Amino acid sequence: MPIYQPEIECASRDYLHAVQSARLIKMVKNAYEHVPFYKKLLDDAGIQPGDIHSIDDIVKLPFTVKTDLRDNYPYGLFAVPPRDLVRIHASSGTTGKQTVVGYTAHDVDVWAEGAARALSAAGCTKDDFVHVSYGYGLFTGGLGLHYGAEKLGATAIPVSSGNTKRQVQILQDFGSDFLCCTPSYAMFIGETVRDMGIDPTTLKLRGGLFGAEPWTDNMRREIERLLAIKAYDIYGLSEIAGPGVAYDCECQDGLHVCEDHFFPEVIDPDTLQPLPDGEYGELVFTCIGKEALPLIRYRTRDICALRHEVCSCGRTVVRMTKPRGRSDDMLIIRGVNVFPSQVEHVLLELGMDPNYLIIVDRKNNLDTMEVQVEMNPSLFSDTVKDIENAEKRIEGALQSTLNIHARVRLLEPNTLPRSEGKAKRVIDNRVLQA
């Protein structure tokens, strides 16, 4: 597979260290001199820009969190005047104010470079048509992949999300080679292809870049089967840039981080100490290559581990494991930590489709968990006994993975709402009662 920027993606660790060190020194100085928030943050921590001599000194710097962006809403953390900005995006989140991010022309270029690296790692070339079904707008998904495709010299098809039958029509008629959308929407598009009676092997499509929400390897295989393609993971977050912060290569063995622009660390969320390779913790990014929003040690809340060994594809840049979920997605049910991705893994292992909803409640001061999941045609039955037996079997499998009891309710096919963007997998009624 061609590598978009081998001089960076396959660079020696020494070279990367030098690039990162120079960029961190410049970025900290810029942040300190142009953003009052950072001047105070560093002064309070007893650190001056002159104390930063190389990327190794990053551990001296204090952390930032999402509420710092919210407290300085909308533009308080920008390090450049409005005349230097060329773009604004925002992420709504589920609670509180939006998080507003800004980009200079250089920042848009850095971001597009990341997305182009991701597309190239999935095998996309200048000759290909890239069907973008991420939403266009303040969400970074649509425009992120769009600019990445154009940067690579491929042809972007800006379909945006929604109207799924039309999506399939366009895949057929326009001869799209790559599809970009959330994994849950890719599933829905795949189901629609099937329901329209189309053989997916007759489509020209050969790959897809799916991200913006956690998804398991089992779901990857399901999408690959439904659409007859190879499915690649793409990671990003608007605070750091958007899609293309990290991406799968053909080995599908961890996501390569654009660490020349976005320096990653994994920390223990309790002690805040950096963790060694292979240990799971909270992912932290420092934007060393951006001008408008120079985030320092930003705590993403995403849970993953880092690996520095060279990948079989030849890339030397650090890899992050597929994010397991966010620490704030983690449910604590009767004291046990449960990630929705664990439930998804179990359901797919049992041959179910990943159309499910977790409902958490509190009855008589005791947490309850119900997993609603659609029957697929192989399980479909009119006999109450058959359905009950299947529910019991799934309950047993969930119990042995999660270590807690979850009631399972099988639903008829196509009863749960489908998502065109990020899927909603959890309803936690305990929050409402609080």
Binding residues for ligand DLL, per CB under 6 A? 91, 134, 139-141, 144, 211-214, 233-238, 242-243, 300, 302, 323, 326
Q: Compare residues 42 and 267 and give the one whose CB is closer to ligand DLL.
A: 267
Buried b / exposed e over 68-79, threshold 16 CB at 10 Å, is: bbbeeebbebbb
CB of 380 to ligand DLL, least distance (A): 31
Is 363 strand, coil or helix? strand
CA dist 192 and 194 (Å) reads 5
CA dist 243 and 142 (Å) reads 9
CA dist 229 and 258 (Å) reads 25
Tokens 């990003």, residue located: 236
Q: Compare residues 176 and 238 and give the one whose CB is closer to ligand DLL.
A: 238
CB of 406 to ligand DLL, least distance (A): 22
CB of 285 to ligand DLL, least distance (A): 10
CB of 142 to ligand DLL, least distance (A): 8
Q: Compare residues 144 and 379 and give the one whose CB is closer to ligand DLL.
A: 144
CA dist 187 and 164 (Å) reads 11
Q: How far is CA 115 from CA 148, 181, 198, 305, in A?
A: 4, 13, 30, 22
Q: Compare residues 11 and 331 and give the one whose CB is closer to ligand DLL.
A: 331
Q: How far is CA 244 from CA 101, 110, 141, 332, in A?
A: 16, 10, 10, 31
CB of 26 to ligand DLL, least distance (A): 25
Q: Compare residues 294 and 323 and give the one whose CB is closer to ligand DLL.
A: 323
Over its C-alpha atoms, the chain yields an Rg (Å, rounded) of: 22
CA atoms within 13 A on the CB side of 372: 15
CB of 49 to ligand DLL, least distance (A): 28
Q: Compare residues 32 and 185 and give the one whose CB is closer to ligand DLL.
A: 185
Instruction: State in Å, rounded, how far the first CA of the chain is from the last one.
Output: 52
CA dist 152 and 147 (Å) reads 9
CB of 389 to ligand DLL, least distance (A): 34
Residue nearest to ligand DLL (CB): 211
Q: Compare residues 219 and 390 and give the one whose CB is closer to ligand DLL.
A: 219
